[in-house]
With several copies, the nearest count.
Chain A
Amino acid sequence: MAARPTIRLIVPGTLAHRAVAVRVVAEACRLVSAPGIERTADGAAYDLRHPFDAEFVSAFAEIYNNIAIHAYGRRTDGGEIELAIAVEPGALTVEIRDRGAPFDIGVVSSPDLDSLPEGGMGIHIARALLDEVVYEPGPPNLWRLVKRIAPSAVTTATADASA
């Protein structure tokens, strides 16, 4: 990754641990979209109201689900998922590494949205919501998710206080 990761997380690669990873990514989003606004330890302050946060978390959850389901085959002893997160002014990069089964992302086709698909939408959603979705088969398999934010979309402490 271009920027040095500032936050690292390792969790077992199961759906039960997805909430831990999502929380960390959501907080990292806020360090980008609302820098300088101190948040509380309280749940009430946690939200995905900022589109940047909602979009990144939605994309991340799809990729995380895929790793737990496809790469690790829903096994609870399959291995770990490792996040390396780089928070920069105006951009968030999340690298995800797993040691599950690699696959050929080139053969995954876009869903035919006119036929009301009942699957195959996860990667499409992630690509649509992020600026960069890169997959490199491993081991370890690597996903690099990048999203940049328009300066006008950053919530400043001042703007928030006057709201």
Chain B
Amino acid sequence: MPIQFQRTDQGDESMLRIAGSLDVLTAPELMPTIDALVEERRPRVVCDLSGLDIIDSSGVAALVALYKRVRAVGGQVVVVGARDQPLAIFKLLRMDKVFSI
């Protein structure tokens, strides 16, 4: 599976599960979902990356865009479950602290 994502809302929280590979080819598929979260001004977005196997700089850029845009409309973003290659890339880019992984 190249990429899979799933959004589940519960009260103020939107859970966004991203699995597979988030990269230059698949990151654009995530954009409509990000647009919707921003438009709906969701107060809290939890990004569950426990199913994410691979990320590249375009995938990181998509997550940064999600983070900045949700915060810009007053929401909170947390990233949970990152492991293996994605976790290593976040650490390399010092984003593990921002995302409070």
Contact = CB atoms under 8 A, between A and B. Distances in A.
A and B touch in the complex (CB under 8 A): yes
B20 interface: yes
Given A111-B93, A119-B57, A121-B93, 18 more contacts: A37-B2, A40-B23, A41-B54, A42-B20, A42-B53, A44-B1, A45-B2, A45-B21, A54-B84, A58-B85, A116-B95, A117-B61, A117-B64, A118-B61, A118-B65, A121-B61, A125-B92, A125-B93
Contacts of B20: 40, 42, 44-45
A121 B64 CA distance: 12
A117 B84 CA distance: 22
A39 B54 CA distance: 12
Interface string A45-58: 10011010011001
Contacts, number: 86
24 contacts: A40-B21, A40-B25, A40-B26, A40-B53, A40-B54, A41-B54, A42-B20, A42-B21, A44-B1, A51-B88, A58-B56, A62-B56, A65-B56, A113-B93, A114-B94, A116-B98, A118-B65, A119-B57, A119-B61, A121-B60, A122-B56, A125-B92, A125-B93, A129-B92
Interface of A: 15, 18, 37-42, 44-45, 48-49, 51, 54-55, 58, 61-62, 65, 69, 111, 113-114, 116-119, 121-122, 124-125, 128-129
Is the interface on chain B under 10, 10 to 19, 20 to 34, or 35 or more residues?
20 to 34
B57 A122 contact: yes
Contacts of B23: 40-41, 61
A4 to B, nearest CB: 25
Interface string B61-101: 10011011000000000000000110011001111001000
Contacts of B89: 58, 125
A116 B99 CA distance: 10
B58 interface: yes
B31 interface: no
Interface of B: 1-3, 20-21, 23-26, 53-54, 56-58, 60-61, 64-65, 67-68, 84-85, 88-89, 92-95, 98
Contacts of A119: 57, 61
Contacts of B67: 116
